[in-house]
Amino acid sequence: MFSLNSDLSERKAGYIFMSIWLLILAFYLTWDGWVYEWEVCGYDGPNQHFDLNLFDMRYGVINGQIKYFSTSNLHNIIYLCYYGLLMAWLGLLTGNKYLKHGAMSLTSVMFLAILFTLRPSDHQHILQFVWDIVHLSGIIACAYLFYKNKFRFRWALPVIFSTWVVYYLSLFLLKPWPFWENNHLAYYGINQINKMPFYFYGLEFALAIFILISINLGVSGLQPKFTGRKARIILPFIMGFIAYLILLFLGLVQLEHLDIGTC
């Protein structure tokens, strides 16, 4: 049965982050414009506006190429950083240990998203500002959870593996069927922050699961050496930064870029 967290400070924090999450949801539902259109024609682009038509995403495949007619931002609802913020406020609000520690395990995802978008050009469009709010809100919520709780890796595993479900959901929704034959026809990147080095029936996400497990095993293993509450907070950022350097060294940091041609 659903119950509220007995820790009032955590519950209040849960309400705050829930409010932020819902405001962002309202934005994703009503703002149509993509960054890639704005880069070409600014806010004069045909999709750079708010509207209440939630299902106005239109595109087609012409001569093997994607042709965009209108866009929406519903796809942002099924991305891992937004999912991490959801787990955080649900954990704070309910006190559920699996939700709380699961959210804590995704701290590195949101931190990596910030590290991958350090250029000033990644923080100019209204949608980019909202992504920043998602990342920063998630990080603050998870840092608060680390301050209040000692991380337990085994309690985080259900949420870690649930990210694979989120990934599969994005494959089903953003690609023409059968999705395993139409990677190049996804109307938007299904890479969950960074491009996948290959695609194989969705099993490629095992690499992301491996990275998440490795980072959080490192957090769990180093935790006894960081005895103070404030010291515990920096652990996921240390491990996330190490993961970032490894990905950067291997040349695996590749962000999405689209030529949507709507202008």
Taking only the tens place, the pLDDT of each residue in 218-261 is 999 999 888 888 888 999 999 999 999 999 998 888 777 788 88
pTM (two decimals): 0.94
Q: What CA–CA distance (Å, rounded) separates 239 from 164?
A: 21
Instruction: Write the pLDDT tens digit of every residue in 9-63.
Output: 999 999 999 999 999 999 999 999 999 999 999 999 999 999 999 999 999 888 8
Q: What CA–CA distance (Å, rounded) separates 62 from 76?
A: 25
Q: Is the pLDDT reported for residue 98 higher than 80?
A: yes
Q: Is the pLDDT reported for residue 1 higher than 70?
A: no
Q: Residues 185-209: what's their mean pLDDT?
A: 81
CA dihedral 167, 196, 257, 115 (to 10 degrees): 90
Q: What are phi and psi of 230, to 5 degrees?
A: -65, -35
- pLDDT, residue 262, reads 85
Residues contacting 96, CB < 8 A, separation 6+: 90
User: Between 192 and 4, where is the model more confident?
Assistant: 4
Instruction: Write the pLDDT tens digit of every residue in 125-138.
Output: 999 999 999 999 99
Q: Three-state SS for 70?
A: strand
Which band of pLDDT confidence, cut at 50, 70 and 90, is reported for residue 191? Answer: low
Residue 88 and residue 138 in contact, taking contact as beta carbons nearer than 8 Å: yes
Structure tokens at 234: 């920096």
Segments of 161-216 assigned E as strands: none
Residue 262 and residue 69 in contact, taking contact as beta carbons nearer than 8 Å: yes
Q: How many other C-beta atoms can be found within 10 angstroms of the C-beta atom of residue 136?
A: 14
Sign of CA dihedral 194, 216, 100, 207: positive
Report CA-CA distances (Å) from 136 to 4, 240, 245, 258.
25, 15, 20, 25
- pLDDT, residue 192, reads 60
Q: Is the pLDDT reported for residue 154 higher than 60?
A: yes
Structure tokens at 197: 């080095």
Sign of CA dihedral 224, 229, 231, 235: positive
Residue ranges of alpha helices (H) inside 73-205 are 80-94, 97-105, 107-116, 126-148, 153-174
User: Between 232 and 88, where is the model more confident?
Assistant: 88
